[in-house]
Chains A and B, each alone.
Chain A
Amino acid sequence: MSVLIGGVLLGAGVLLFVLEPVFSGKSAPMYDGDDVFDEGAARRRVALTALRDLEYDRATGKLDENDYGQLRTELSREALEHLEDEGGGGDGGRGPDRASRELEEEIAELRRAIREGMQCGACEHLNRLGAQFCGRCGEGLGREPRMPGEGLS
Chain B
Amino acid sequence: MTILGEIALWISLPVALWGAAVSFAGGRLGRGDLVLSGERTVHVVTILLVLVSAGIIAAFLGNRYEYYYVVNYSNRELDTYFKVAGLWAGQRGSLVFWTLLLSVFSSIAVFFNRRRNREFMPYVSGTLLGILSFLLIVLLFAEVNPFERLGFTRFNGLGLNPQLQNYWMTIHPPTLYLGFTAFAVPFAFAVSALGMLKVWNMVLVVLTFLLTIFATFLTRSGLIESVHSFAENLTIAYIFLGFMGGMAIFAAILIIHRLPSLRPENQIQSFLSRESAFLFNNLLFIGVTFAVIWGTLFPLITEGFFGETRNVGPPYFNRVNIPLGLMLLALMGIGPVIAWRRASKRNLRKNFTLPVAMGVATLAVLLVAGVRHGMALATFALAAFVMTIVVTEFWKGTKARARIAGEGIVSAFRGLVKRNRRRWGGYIVHAGVALVFTGLAGAAFDARVEQEMVPGEAMTVRSALGSEYRLVYESLSHTRPRVADDVQENDWRWTALLTAYRDGERIGVLRPEKRFYPVMEQTSTEVGISSSVLEDLYVIPKDLETGTDRATFEVKVLPLVPWIWTGGMIVAIGTLVGLWPPRGVPVPSAVRERAVRRPVPAGAAG
Chain A: residues with CB nearer than 8 A to chain B?
3, 6-7, 10-11, 14, 17-22, 24-39, 42-43, 45-46, 49-50, 53-54, 56-57, 59-64, 67, 71, 95-100
The smallest C-beta distance from A33 to any residue of chain B, in angstroms, reads: 5
7 additional contacts, CB 8 Å, given A30-B119, A57-B339, A97-B585? A6-B7, A10-B7, A17-B44, A29-B118, A30-B118, A60-B396, A67-B339
- Asked if B480 is an interface residue, CB under 8 A from chain A, the answer is no
For A6, the chain B residues whose CB sits under 8 A away are 4, 7
Residues 463-484 of B, flagged 1 when their CB comes within 8 A of A and 0 if not, give: 0000000000000000000000
Residues 17-33 of B, flagged 1 when their CB comes within 8 A of A and 0 if not, give: 01100100010001111
Output the nearest chain A residue to B32 by Cβ-Cβ distance: A27
Contact A53 B340 (CB under 8 A): yes
Contact A61 B350 (CB under 8 A): yes
Task: Indicate which residue in B4, B35, B48, B340 contacts A28 across the interface (CB closer than 8 Å).
Answer: B35
- Asked if B587 is an interface residue, CB under 8 A from chain A, the answer is yes
- Asked if B341 is an interface residue, CB under 8 A from chain A, the answer is yes
Contact A27 B33 (CB under 8 A): yes
- Asked if B588 is an interface residue, CB under 8 A from chain A, the answer is yes
Contact A57 B11 (CB under 8 A): no
- Asked if B212 is an interface residue, CB under 8 A from chain A, the answer is no
Report Cα–Cα, A14/B51, bound state, in Å: 13
Output the nearest chain A residue to B585 by Cβ-Cβ distance: A35
The smallest C-beta distance from B62 to any residue of chain A, in angstroms, reads: 14
For A57, the chain B residues whose CB sits under 8 A away are 339-340
**B288-344 at interface with A (beta carbon < 8 Å):** 337-344
Output the nearest chain B residue to A71 by Cβ-Cβ distance: B341
For B374, the chain A residues whose CB sits under 8 A away are none
For A10, the chain B residues whose CB sits under 8 A away are 4, 7-8, 11, 51
29 interchain pairs, CB-CB under 8 A: A3-B4, A14-B44, A17-B44, A18-B37, A22-B22, A28-B26, A28-B118, A32-B118, A32-B119, A32-B588, A33-B118, A38-B591, A39-B594, A39-B595, A39-B596, A43-B592, A46-B587, A49-B587, A59-B396, A59-B400, A60-B400, A61-B347, A61-B351, A62-B337, A62-B347, A95-B585, A96-B584, A97-B584, A100-B584
3 interchain residue pairs of minimum CB distance? A97-B584, A27-B32, A28-B36
Contact A50 B32 (CB under 8 A): no
Report Cα–Cα, A10/B51, bound state, in Å: 10
Interface SS of chain B: helix, strand, loop or mixed? helix
Contact B40 A21 (CB under 8 A): yes
Task: Indicate which residue in A33, A45, A59, A96 contacts B587 across the interface (CB closer than 8 Å).
Answer: A45
Q: How large is the interface on B (under 10, 10 to 19, 20 to 34, 35 or more residues)?
A: 35 or more
For A100, the chain B residues whose CB sits under 8 A away are 584-585
Contact B35 A38 (CB under 8 A): no
Contact B342 A63 (CB under 8 A): yes
Task: Indicate which residue in A36, A61, A67 contacts B396 across the interface (CB closer than 8 Å).
Answer: A61
Output the nearest chain A residue to B43 by Cβ-Cβ distance: A17
- Asked if B583 is an interface residue, CB under 8 A from chain A, the answer is yes
The smallest C-beta distance from A143 to any residue of chain B, in angstroms, reads: 25
For A43, the chain B residues whose CB sits under 8 A away are 592
Output the nearest chain B residue to A11 by Cβ-Cβ distance: B11
Contact B41 A18 (CB under 8 A): yes
**Contact status of A63 and B347, CB under 8 A, knowing A30-B35, A98-B584:** yes
Report Cα–Cα, A103/B386, bound state, in Å: 33
**Contact status of A22 and B37, CB under 8 A, knowing A10-B4, A17-B44, A97-B583:** yes
Interface SS of chain A: helix, strand, loop or mixed? helix
**Contact status of A30 and B351, CB under 8 A, knowing A17-B40, A18-B40, A36-B598:** no
The smallest C-beta distance from B556 to any residue of chain A, in angstroms, reads: 44
The smallest C-beta distance from A101 to any residue of chain B, in angstroms, reads: 9
For B370, the chain A residues whose CB sits under 8 A away are none
- Asked if B460 is an interface residue, CB under 8 A from chain A, the answer is no
- Asked if B116 is an interface residue, CB under 8 A from chain A, the answer is yes
For A71, the chain B residues whose CB sits under 8 A away are 341-342
The smallest C-beta distance from B122 to any residue of chain A, in angstroms, reads: 8
Report Cα–Cα, A133/B121, bound state, in Å: 50
Output the nearest chain A residue to B8 by Cβ-Cβ distance: A10
For B31, the chain A residues whose CB sits under 8 A away are 27
For B508, the chain A residues whose CB sits under 8 A away are none
Contact A25 B339 (CB under 8 A): no
The smallest C-beta distance from A23 to any residue of chain B, in angstroms, reads: 9
**Contact status of A26 and B36, CB under 8 A, knowing A14-B11, A37-B587, A99-B586:** yes
Contact A60 B393 (CB under 8 A): yes
The smallest C-beta distance from B147 to any residue of chain A, in angstroms, reads: 13
- Asked if B39 is an interface residue, CB under 8 A from chain A, the answer is yes
For A95, the chain B residues whose CB sits under 8 A away are 584-585
Report Cα–Cα, A95/B338, bound state, in Å: 33
The smallest C-beta distance from A50 to any residue of chain B, in angstroms, reads: 7
Contact B583 A27 (CB under 8 A): no
For A61, the chain B residues whose CB sits under 8 A away are 347, 350-351, 396
Task: Indicate which residue in A42, A45, A46, A99 contacts B584 across the interface (CB closer than 8 Å).
Answer: A99
Report Cα–Cα, A35/B113, bound state, in Å: 12
The smallest C-beta distance from A96 to any residue of chain B, in angstroms, reads: 7
For A99, the chain B residues whose CB sits under 8 A away are 582, 584, 586
Contact A22 B344 (CB under 8 A): no
For A21, the chain B residues whose CB sits under 8 A away are 32-34, 36-37, 40
Contact A63 B36 (CB under 8 A): no
**Contact status of A22 and B34, CB under 8 A, knowing A53-B340, A59-B404:** yes
**B112-130 at interface with A (beta carbon < 8 Å):** 114-119, 121
Report Cα–Cα, A34/B594, bound state, in Å: 19
The smallest C-beta distance from A135 to any residue of chain B, in angstroms, reads: 16
**Contact status of A18 and B19, CB under 8 A, knowing A27-B35, A28-B36:** yes
For A53, the chain B residues whose CB sits under 8 A away are 340
Contact A46 B592 (CB under 8 A): yes
Output the nearest chain A residue to B344 by Cβ-Cβ distance: A64
Most chain A CB neighbours (cut-off 10 Å) among B8, B587, B595: B587
Report Cα–Cα, A37/B598, bound state, in Å: 9
- Asked if B597 is an interface residue, CB under 8 A from chain A, the answer is yes
The smallest C-beta distance from A37 to any residue of chain B, in angstroms, reads: 5
- Asked if B15 is an interface residue, CB under 8 A from chain A, the answer is yes
For A36, the chain B residues whose CB sits under 8 A away are 598
**Contact status of A29 and B117, CB under 8 A, knowing A62-B337, A63-B342, A99-B586:** no
For B51, the chain A residues whose CB sits under 8 A away are 10
Report Cα–Cα, A89/B33, bound state, in Å: 33
